[in-house]
Structure 1
Amino acid sequence: MLPTLNMTGDVVGYEHLTQRFSKLDNGDLVVAVSPSDPSKLVCKRIIGIPGDKVCINPISVHRQYITVPPGHYWLMGDNLSNSTDSRAYGPVSGGLILGRVFARIWPSPKWLGNGMEEVVEFG
């Protein structure tokens, strides 16, 4: 799959209402607190929802599977060969997911110097 967003520099809009009024689902692009560095945000795609059986590393010759535990999601970057995601840190707690991405903003508001919070990893 081709990357949806650039590795750095893209600005996305995300909403918090999804988690309150509708369910997150496979294929949704979400912004989450990084499980490996809570001071950073990441943008990843949901590959597995609670109860799903997912392949831990689909680009590996030796495929292993895991069932996503309740309250967790399996997140992966669109650029599988260059992404730190659930393959590295495991299932992600739903509490770390901030919201679903609804738009990629272009041109970047950063050009205007508005101080928006940076999502450090898209891949």
Structure 2
Amino acid sequence: MQILNFGHPLTDGQVAAVQELAGQTVEGVISIATQFDHAQPFAGQAQQLLQSEKLREFPWQTGKFIVNPPSLAIIAATLLAELQGLCGYLPTVIRLRPVAGAVPLEFEVAELISLQQLRDAARTRRSS
């Protein structure tokens, strides 16, 4: 399994925590610098990001991956929509949280969230 990292760099401890929570070996971390130009449409920038050199040959429909989304919510939402279109499902994402009392500030892996499972469960709760 790969981690597609669109956020801040991940520590070895964070990668180990993802591996433990996923119950799968992390074979690698693909880090993609995510800086969007606020003067340009985000949809096109998300498409370009996912066609970048590091991801051009990624096996979207058969590859195993977990996403560390960027911190800015609208960029994360745009990327997740593009990813869903490429692979046919919503990916699992990493949620980081601040470590209580840590000085300087540091983050730990809080959970892995399967966005596809959330979507599927929500469909069963909607009313007609």
What TM-score results when the alignment is normalised by the length of structure 1? 0.24
Structure with the greater relative contact order (CA < 8 A, sep ≥ 6): 1 or 2?
Answer: 1
Q: Which has the higher strand share?
A: 1
Structure possessing the higher radius of gyration over alpha carbons: 2
